[in-house]
Amino acid sequence: MNHYTEQQRINMLESFRTKVNSDMIDKAIANGLSPETTAIDIVKAGLHRTEEEIGNEIVTTMVAEANRIMANRQKKNHHAPTPTGDSDVDAIIEEAYRLRSNNL
């Protein structure tokens, strides 16, 4: 059994934290779980994620990045976004811009 100070244990657990496993880390800290046990639990939870969940996370990340690019370009250019060179990203940006323009 590994022996950690409480602060070391918490620091190790915090180093595992992601947007996906944040609840697991909070519970591990509150319940005094070891980093080793928590790491295994995180891996097990990841194995049970469906392809749809993983796909949704990827799409959400892409949309967030497209929105970030679009916002930066609008600040710089004060008009519609310019192409990035990546047709998939450009399509997402154009659709987001169209939707945003329709809601103004």
Residue spans of the domains in the chain: they are 6-47, 51-102
pTM (2 decimals)?
A: 0.49
Largest CA distance in the chain: 60
pLDDT at site 77: 63
What type of residue is 45? A
Position 81 pLDDT exceeds 70: no
- pLDDT tens by residue, 11-47: 999 999 998 899 999 999 999 999 999 999 999 888 7
Q: Would you state the structure tokens that stand for residue 52, as one six-digit string?
A: 């749809």
pLDDT at site 17: 93
- pLDDT tens by residue, 54-73: 788 888 888 888 888 877 77
Position 83 pLDDT exceeds 80: no
pLDDT at site 79: 59
CA dihedral 50, 54, 59, 64 (to 10 degrees): 130
Q: Which residues contact 88 (CB under 8 A, 6 or more apart)?
A: 62
CB-CB contact of 80 with 54 (8 Å): no
Position 104 pLDDT exceeds 60: no
The sign one gets for the Cα dihedral 72, 53, 30, 8 is negative
pLDDT at site 80: 59
Position 100 pLDDT exceeds 60: yes
CB-CB contact of 96 with 63 (8 Å): yes
Using CA atoms, how far apart are residues 88 and 39, in angstroms rounded to an integer? 35
